[in-house]
Amino acid sequence: MADLLQSIIESGPGKVVAKRVGVPEATELRRWEPGQPLLDGPALLLGEGRLRGEVDRVLRAAGAAVLETPPPGEGERLGAVVLDASGITSVDGLRELYEGFGPVLRSIGASGRALVLGTPPAAVEDVEEAVAQRALEGFTRSLGKELRKGATAQLVLVKPGAEDRIESTLRFLLSSKSAYVDGQVVQVDGGDATDPADWERPLDGQVAVVTGASRGIGEAIAEVLARDGAHVVCVDVPAQGEALTKVANRIGGSALQLDVTADDAGQTLAEHAKERHGGVDVVVHNAGITRDRTLGRMSDDEWDVLMAVNLAAPVRITDTLLDTGALNEGARVVCVSSVNGIAGQRGQANYATSKAGLIGLVQAQSPKLAPSRTINAVAPGFIETQMTAAMPLFTREAGRRLNSLNQGGQPVDVAETIAWLSSPASGGVTGQVVRVCGQMLLGA
Ligand code: NAD
């Protein structure tokens, strides 16, 4: 849909006016394409902790040039600055963050990466060390807000003993696949994980189910999982049958017309997966709807139908797939939540309830599924789809701009995040909620 304000801002005179009134210009984000190097420049590796050796190995294995001191030349742009902060045990020690990043901040190139690694505070005995590790979060989130030109900052907290589980997470967060993920904290535990033979096709030989796959974010998820090697069973309502078949044919997957709210939806999916493929390795609960209305004006139907699609269906289908044995060992389940499920939103009490409920599903199921299987949620912010194109102009423009990257994300950004969580190598990541929102200024 034509977007008037956007096209005015992006026109020559519009740019001048937008700058005057303080609308920051958005940098086109580097996004993944085949053959692209991990980083657009060398990685500077700082800090001394238990993770440094493994980070160094991963960087080199992924083809990055590693520097131990900042480049002397003014002009050289860094692809990433990675600081192993797991060795910081005191408040005084936190100075290392300031001394490490301060002088090189301006050398981080467009769509560059700042990565801080630490230890989950809950896994630390000593009080001052736990304080220091908790402090990393405030630093990293602020860094995300200070970086410019599409550069992002993330914190990875690695449980002691899970040092050899970080590769898939580092590869994702450093690469352009994480283009619209910013200011996030991800924990890596010690679940079962298998490194793929080919990092570009981690899902080779696997079967994935994606609900709501006929368009928008679901279509992008199906495409990216197929690119990564999976046979994708694309699910959507019969009314979307034609579009669904087109997507399935294009990606070499199969189409299954199914309303996820049907009483026997889980059973149908389980039988389909077992009979045709012997089971399922990846399940993405993406189908979702909005029925926006302030609470006092909301109809019974607007509450009930939304809750049935967005929350009851994922809860029930996950249960049935487990109970029937259709969810293979090593399976990955990903729920598509929303930042509005974290922060709440006027006129979306039904939607936010359902999306917060999905976070509850992830938190309740993850210990039960461990150590072989994982369940995580992604929480998209403003993503350019039919859903957001239907918003009123000014709400839409505010949604697009109010984040550290000054722009909306693309469906592929959500899809790439889901692909990382779906990888057999991501067994250490479970029970997490990863926002794909360009570090939206609203909410947590
Ligand atoms: P969309 O409306 O374009 O696509 C949703 C798909 O789900 C459609 O194909 C629809 O037919 C399908 N669907 C709906 N009810 C179904 C049912 N009962 N059974 C099977 N399929 C059903 O929406 P989208 O923008 O691509 O959103 C995808 C997901 O991402 C949703 O869960 C949404 O809540 C979430 N999300 C989107 C945004 C955004 O900015 N677009 C932000 C946060 C979260």
Cα gap 335→312, rounded to integer Å? 12
Alpha helices in 71-215 (DSSP H): 95-101, 127-146, 167-174
Residues 435, 352: Cα–Cα separation, whole Å = 15
Say what the pTM is. 0.96
CA distances in angstroms from 253 to 202, 210, 326, 444, listed in the order given = 17, 11, 18, 37
| Whether residue 289 has its Cβ less than 6 Å from ligand 1 | yes
Among residues 432, 26, 440, which one has the least CA distance to residue 189?
Answer: 432
Tokens of 143: 């860094």
Quick check: CB of 386 below 6 Å from ligand 1?
yes
- Nearest atom in ligand 1 to the alpha carbon of residue 216 is 26
C-alpha of residue 231 to centroid of ligand 1, in Å: 21
Alpha helices in 184-312 (DSSP H): 216-227, 241-250, 265-277, 300-307
Residues whose CB falls within 8 Å of the CB of residue 336, separated by 6 or more in sequence, listed in order:
217, 284, 285, 286, 288, 358, 377, 378, 380, 414, 418
Q: Rounded CA gap, 84 and 102, in Å?
A: 15
Q: Whose CA is nearest to atom 39 of ligand 1?
A: 383
Q: Which atom of ligand 1 is nearest to the CA of 382?
A: 40
Token pair 């045990």 in the structure block, residue: 89
Distance, in Å, from the CA atom of 316 to the CA atom of 365, rounded to the nearest integer, reads 12
The whole-angstrom separation of Cα 274 and Cα 345 is: 40
Of the candidates 303, 443, 284, 412, the residue with the CA atom closest to the CA atom of residue 358: 284
Q: Does residue 280 contact residue 208 with C-beta atoms inside 8 Å? A: yes
Pocket test for ligand 1, best of 311, 335, 387 (most atoms within 8 A of CB): 387
Let me know: does 222 contact 244? Beta carbons within 8 Å. Answer: no
Q: Is 98 a catalytic residue?
A: no
How much distance in Å is there from the Cα of 214 to the middle of ligand 1? 9
CB atoms within 10 A of CB 208: 30
| Ligand 1 pocket residue status of 215, Cβ below 6 Å | yes
CA of 370 to the centre of ligand 1 (A): 28
Per-residue tens of pLDDT for the chain, all 444 residues: 345 555 655 655 555 555 555 556 789 999 999 999 999 999 999 999 999 999 999 999 999 999 999 887 777 899 999 999 999 999 999 999 999 999 999 999 999 999 999 999 999 999 999 999 999 999 999 999 999 999 999 999 999 999 999 999 999 999 999 999 999 999 999 889 999 999 999 999 999 999 999 999 999 999 999 999 999 999 999 999 999 999 999 999 999 999 999 999 999 999 999 999 999 999 999 999 999 999 999 999 999 999 999 999 999 999 999 999 999 999 999 999 999 999 999 999 999 999 999 999 999 999 999 999 999 999 999 999 987 888 888 888 888 999 999 999 999 999 999 999 999 999 999 999 999 999 998 765
Active-site pick, 351, 373, 422, 439: 351
Residue 417 near ligand 1, beta carbon < 6 Å: no
CB-ligand 1 contact for 399 (6 Å cutoff): no
Ligand 1 centroid–CA 218 distance in Å is: 7
Candidate from 284, 289, 340, 433 with most ligand 1 atoms within 8 A of CB, to mutate: 289
Question: Considering Cα of 323, then 248, then 227, then 377, what sign does the dihedral take?
Answer: negative
Ligand 1 neighbourhood includes 286 CB (under 6 angstroms): yes
- 288 Cβ below 6 A of ligand 1: yes
- How far apart are the CA of 215 and the centre of ligand 1, in A? 8
Residue 408 CA: nearest ligand 1 atom is 40
DSSP-assigned letter for residue 309: I
223-227: list long-range contacts, CB under 8 Å, 24+ apart: 223/247, 223/250, 223/251, 223/412, 223/415, 224/412, 224/415, 224/416, 224/418, 224/419, 225/282, 225/284, 225/415, 225/418, 225/419, 225/422, 226/251, 226/252, 226/253, 227/251
Distances from the Cα of 160 to the Cα of 326, 352, 428, angstroms: 33, 35, 12
Q: Whose CA is nearest to atom 33 of ligand 1?
A: 288
pLDDT of residue 1: 37
CA angle in degrees (0–180, nearest 5) for 406-398-16: 60
User: Can you tell me which atom of ligand 1 is nearest the CA of 386?
Assistant: 3
> What one-letter code names the amino acid at 173?
L
Tokens standing for residue 433: 């909620």
Torsion over CA: 371, 254, 205, 33 (sign): negative
Structure tokens at 274: 């077992």
Q: Ligand 1, closest atom to CA 239?
A: 11
**Hey, which residues does 155 pair with through a beta bridge?**
116, 185
Tokens for 338?
Answer: 């929303």
- Cα of 336 vs centre of ligand 1, distance in Å, is 9
**From the CB of 217, is ligand 1 less than 6 Å away?**
yes
pLDDT of residue 2: 43
For tokens 């993850």, the residue is 366
Taking the CA atoms of 204, 205, 208 and 213 in sequence, report the sign of the dihedral they define: positive
Q: How far is CA 206 from the centre of its chain?
A: 21
Output the CA 289–ligand 1 centroid distance in Å. 5
Closest CA to ligand 1's atom 3 = 216
- Asked if 425 and 167 count as a contact pair (C-beta separation under 8 A), the reply is yes
Q: Is 417 left (phi over 0), alpha (psi -120 to 50) or beta?
A: alpha
- Amino acid (one-letter) located at 143: L
Atom of ligand 1 nearest to the CA of 260: 19
Q: Would you state the structure tokens that stand for residue 369, as one six-digit string?
A: 């599924």
Q: How far is the CA of 216 from the centre of ligand 1 (A)?
A: 7
